[in-house]
Structure 1
C-alpha cells in the first residue's frame, strides 16, 4: 500500500469521527440564538484557517524531513566506505550499498546474516574480540582484519565501530565503518621493504666503511712499521760500516735487530766444522756464547740450512721441526730463523726468539729479516775476506823478512 492511500484513509476516518460527535450535539445547537450561532460559525472559520495553516506547516515540515531523509539515505548508501549495523553476535542488521558492493552480495541478502561469514578464518578471532570490546567499553573501537567477498577475493580492512543505544538506553547494536585499506597496506609493505633495503644497504655500507677504515689503519700501521724497520736496517748498515771490529759489529747487530723486530732475544749461530755454534746473543744469558749443537739438537738450523728459506715456528710444542728440549732449556716458545747465505751456502742462522707464543710475523717483518740477513752475510763474507787478506799479508811479510834475512847472510 502506497503513502497516498494511507493518508486518504486516515482523513476519512477523522471525518467520520467528527460527524459522529456533531450528531450527538445537534439538540444543543437548536437552543442557541442566531447571534450565538453566527459567533460560533466565526470561531469555527477562524479555527479552520488555523488548522489549514497548521496543516500546511506540517506538510512543509514533512517535506523537509523527507528531503533530509533522502539526503541522508544518499549519503549513507553512496558513501565511499561500507557502513554496517551489527548486533552483539555480529549479525548484520543493516548495510549500505557500498558495503554490499564490497562483499559482492545484494543488500537484502545480507540482512540477518553473520558478518563472520565474510571474515577470513585467520581474522575471525580479531572480529569477535573487536565486537566484545565495542559492547563492553561502549566507546569507539578499531581493528584491522582480512575480509573475503563472495568471489573469495581477500582484501585488508579497518573496522571502526561505535555502540548505539536503543530507546530504553540499552546498548544492543553497533554501527561499523568498514574501510578498504588494501592500498594502504601495499604502500606500507612497499615502504617497509624500502626501509629494510635501505637499512641493509646502510649496514653493508657501514661494514664496508669499517673494513676500509680498518684496512686504512692497518696500512698506516704497516707503513709506519715499514719505515721503522727501514730506518733500523739503515742504522744497522751504518753500524756494519762504522768499524773494522767484526765482533763489535755482530754484537751491536743482534741488539739493534732484536729491538727493531720486537723479539725477546736474538742470536747469530754460525756453522763451523760440522757444528752449529752460538757466536753472538742478545736477550739470552751470555753463557750461551760458544755453546754448540749437532744432530737433533740443531734441527732448526739444519732445516733452514737445507731449505735455504726462513722458518717460522710459532709454538715449539706443536711443531715437530723444533728442538724442543733445547728451546725449553732457554725458555723459548716461538722462533723466526733466517739463513745467512754466502755463495749459495748457509754459513749461519739469524735467530729471533720469543719467550711466549708469537701470533704471527708480518710480511714486512720477514722482508726486514731477509734484508738484514743479506747485510750480515755480506759482513761475514767481508770479514772472512779481510781475515784471509790479513793472513796473506802476514805470510808475505814473513816471506819477505825471510828472504831479506837470507840475502843478508850471503
Structure 2
C-alpha cells in the first residue's frame, strides 16, 4: 500500500516512459522473484530518474507558464516560464498567493473561476490583466483545472501571454470604427447630395410654374385655364419634394413598430386593388394564392409598403418599355422546413440589366428617369426588420422577379 501511495503522488512522465513506470511498480509492490537479475533492479530506478529529469526539463522550459495552486490559492509549484511572466524568481514565488497578481478590475472573474474549478472537473478559462512585481501589466489567458477529485484538490493553471493578440484585436476594432466613420461620412454626403438633387428639380419647376402664373396674371386678359395648370404644376412638384424627403427619413430612421397577426392573401389582394387605383397602366394580374397558408405576424403597414413598392416598380417598368400586354404574376406559398411564407412578384417587363443587379438594393441607385432610388433599399430594410428577406432573381428574358419572405405567427 505504501508503494502504491508513493507511485500515485509521483509526477507524471512522458508516454515513452510508461513501460519504465510499470516495471518500477512491479518491483515496489510484488515480492521479488528469485530469478530476477540484479542489474535489472538497478536499471529501473535509473530509467525512472532519467525520465523524471526529462519531464522536468519539458516542464521548466515549456514556453507557457504552469502554476500549481493549493486549495487556498497559494503557489506550490511554478515553471520557469510562469516565473518569467510574473517577473519574479521562482523560489520567491513559492508560498505566495496568486490572486494579488491579478489586476483589481479582473479579480472578481478570477475568484469566480478559481471556485468553479474546485467544484467541478471541467476546465475553466478567463482572460485577465496580470500585474507583475515591477508594476507592468500584460494580458493573459488563464486556463485552470482540478488536479484531483475533491474540493481541497490543488489547481493547475496554464497562463498564456495574449497581450499581442489583444493589441491586434484593439487595432482591428479601431480600424473598423474608422471604416464605419468613413462609411457614415460617405453615406451622409450621399444623402445630402441626393436631397439636394431631388429638391432642386421640383423647386426649379415650382419657380418656373410660379413665374408663368405671375406673367399670365399680369397680362391684360389673363388665361385662367393656363394659370390653373401652372398652379397645379406647383402643387405636384411640392408633393414630389415632400415624398422624396419622407422616403429618405423613412430609410434613415426606421423606428419601433407594432406587429399583428393577419392573412397574407388578403393583404396582397388589398395591395393589388390599391396599385390598380393609383396607377394609370391597365395590366392583367394573376394571383396564385395558397388558401391553406398560416397567418403571418408582422407590421401590416410595413408589408403593405413593400408590396406596393414592388408592384409600382413592375408597372412603371412595363409602362416605360411599352409592353403591349402587361402582366403581373403574384404567387404565395410556404417553404418546406421553414416557418415562413414566400411571396413572388413577377412582371413581363424588360427586367434588370446584369450590371445593375448588384446595386439594386443600394440607397440612391435608380434606373428610372424620376425617383430618388430609395424604394428597394427601404423595402429590404422594412422586410428584414420584420424578420423576413427580400431578394431579386435574375432570369434572362423573364422580366423582373422579386421574392419576399415573412414569418408565420406560430
TM-score w.r.t. the length of structure 2 is 0.44
TM-score by length of 1: 0.44
Greater Rg, structure 1 or structure 2? 1
